[in-house]
Structure 1
Amino acid sequence: MAARLPLSPPPPAPTSRAGILLREWRAARRMSQLDLALAADVSTRHLSCVETGKSQASQDMVMRLADALEMPLRERNALLMAAGYAPSYPETALTTPALAQVRRATEFIIGQQEPYPAFVLNCHWDIVMANEAAQRITGFLLRDGRQHGNMIRHFFDPEGLRAAVVNWEEVAGDLVRHLHSDVASAPSDSVSRALLDEALSYPGVPARWRTREPGTTPSPLLTTVFRRDGVELRFFSTFTTFGTPRDVTVDELRIECCFPDDEATAAFCRKQAPGA
């Protein structure tokens, strides 16, 4: 008697969770069903059935919808799992051999930034790496202040860097706008939402910051002014990201390079460098 071939696994059952995520992302991107259907090359009727949970989207359709919505890799994985499929993008620790090339690149960039500060941040503003200049300048500004592994907490905690920031309300207001944008652009990201709530809970935060101001975007360039023991330091920052990432960790990395806004700041940083 011929051996019975194993049956193919049944397709995943339709799920309303995928539909909820799609509606949230459409709202965040301000797209109608027709807009999304045209961008993803699917029928409006089928998209409507997927959003209500009446129909099951194929894996290819899920990926096309994610592309049309410009979803980050972490959120694409969440949408795939909500639709009943395995995630497509790995999330690899930066310290593993698989990301050695990425780690070398980040180390090179922040090393080249000496004697000026540079930080490597993830999408939730955690400080993943920092060069020696960043540690020297942060140590000078904090002295006995509270160290944080998160840039938002650094600037909002009264016992952190906040006490040394001359234009704190301007800088913190810009960071809040960034956080509001993070939440609006990734509606299912509970970590960003919790970080925004935490920032708003610190003392002295204006009540008006609790609401996102329509039509406003974070400033493209902002100078942060620090003052400690009569020394004033002025920095502006640039951010670098990796193009066409295929890993969640790489997709979420941002390299912040701080540049002196005046010669006094540049001279202070050079003087603090070893061997100066």
Structure 2
Amino acid sequence: MGMEFGSKLKEWRNHRRLSQMGLAGEAGISTRHLSFLETGRSRPTEGMIIRLCEALEVNATESNMLFSAAGFTPRYQGTTNADQLPEEVAQAINLIMENHDPYPAVLLNSSYDILKANQGYLRFAALMGVDEPTDINMLDLLIASDMGKSLIVNWKEVARSLILRARSEAWLQGPSSPLHAHIKRLMEDEAVAEALSQDLENLQNPVPAAVLPITISLGALETSWITTITSFGSARDALVDGLMIEQSFPANEQTRMLVSQMN
């Protein structure tokens, strides 16, 4: 158990680009003690794991993995099912999404999997020809799919912005997170890699924008949207850790009229 915890701790320290001295200082322990923890010569207490997780800014989900690696019961309760959320959290999410109707809104987990969708999203997804609109990953839908590449007029800008945002979130989630692995797979797509490299070369929009303009072509009709992603959760609550609500707003009158006709 000690070696498994130690290797994960070292992985996190390297991911945060901290020296042993740097992390020891942040956690308020000696460099020698930290070295013993990383090599498995010392076994951590639960209190020590909490202290190290706070120093490394490890979220609740990944903290649970460190507790398990050290032989402890995961400290933070978690779920991947929207139906298992605390009642007050579920009510708040439902209110936000229902009140956003007739415009699209979806609930995403930390990996961008769609957990829940309002009627506005389902109606528009049907127009786009999405076969299983709630059993899909949003990054795959918008970035990786042939449909996304063909229907999204400003696909390069959308892909670039979403990848940059997802990268920053993956950095917080850690090197072993599903999102980190997902981004690696997305970057194997030449079109995605090219879209991001152009951004870096031109030094334009080096960080993800707060809002994402997106134009979607539906035959002869182009719909324009402004999309926002709001984080919903706490770094110490695995039940809601990483949950996001993505909401789309019509950016012009033509799109508003289409939504009105669909409703």
Q: Return the TM-score normalized by structure 1.
A: 0.82
Q: What is the SS of the residue equivalent to 2:86?
A: helix
Alignment of 1:1-276 (within 5 A): 15-92=2-79, 93-96=81-84, 99-142=86-129, 147=133, 149-202=136-189, 204-206=191-193, 209=196, 216-244=206-234, 247-273=237-263
Larger radius of gyration: 1
Superposed CA deviations along residues 236-258 of structure 1, whole A, max 9, x for unmatched, are 22222334365423112111111
Deviations 1:20-44 (A, max 9, x none): 2222222222323233222222222
| Contact 2:234–2:240 (Cα < 8 Å) also in 1 | no
Question: Displacement of 1:91 after TM fit?
Answer: 1.6
- 3-state DSSP of counterpart to 2:29: coil
Deviations along 1:40-86, one digit per CA (max 9) or x if unpaired, are 22222211211122212211010011011111111000011112211
The question of whether the paired residues in 1 share the 8 Å contact of 2:214 and 2:225 is answered with yes
Q: CA deviation at 1:231?
A: 1.5
Contact 2:233–2:242 (8 Å) recurs in 1: no
SS in 1 for 2:72: coil
RMSD over aligned CA atoms reads 2.7
Decide whether aligned partners of structure 1 residues 82 and 146 sit closer, same or farther in structure 2, where only a CA change above 3 A counts: closer
Give 3-state SS (helix, strand or coil) of 2:240's partner.
helix
Letter in 1 for 2:250: P
Give yes or no for contact 2:112–2:137 (8 Å, CA) kept in 1: yes
Compared CA separation, residues 68 and 241, structure 1 to 2 (3 A): same
- The percent of aligned pairs where both chains have the same amino acid is 32
Task: For structure 2, list consecutive stretches of 5 or more residues without a partner in the other structure.
Answer: none
In 1: Cα distance, 2:42 partner to 2:184 partner: 36
* Residue 49 to residue 64, structure 1, CA distance change in 2 (3 Å): same
TM-score, with normalisation over the residues of structure 2?
Answer: 0.85
Moved more, 214-223 or 231-240: 214-223
Contact 2:16 2:56 in 1 (8 A): yes
Are 2:104 and 2:248, in contact at CA under 8 Å, matched by a contact in 1?
A: yes
CA shift, 1:135, in A, is: 0.9
- Distance change (3 Å), C-alpha of 1:39 and 1:157: closer
* Equivalent-residue separation in structure 2 for 1:158 and 1:56 (angstroms): 46
| Distance in 1 between residues matched to 2:193 and 2:243, nearest whole Å | 30
**Number of positions where the alignment pairs a residue of Structure 1 with one of Structure 2:** 257
In the superposition, relative to structure 1, how do residues 213 and 56 fare at CA in structure 2: closer, same or farther (>3 Å)? farther
Query: In the aligned structure 1, how far is the partner of 2:241 from the partner of 2:200?
Result: 27
List per-residue Cα deviations over 1:182-224 (Å, max 9, x = no partner): 44333343522432243234574445759x9699432333211
Q: Which has the higher helix share?
A: 2
2: CA distance, partners of 1:157 / 1:60: 42
d(CA) in 1 for partners of 2:7, 2:207: 27
Q: Does the 8 A contact of 1:33 with 1:47 survive in 2? A: yes
Output the CA distance in 2 between the equivalents of 1:172 and 1:238. 15
Would the alpha carbon gap of residues 25 and 245 (structure 1) be closer, same or farther in structure 2, given more than 3 Å must change?
closer
CA contact (8 A) 1:119 1:130 kept: yes
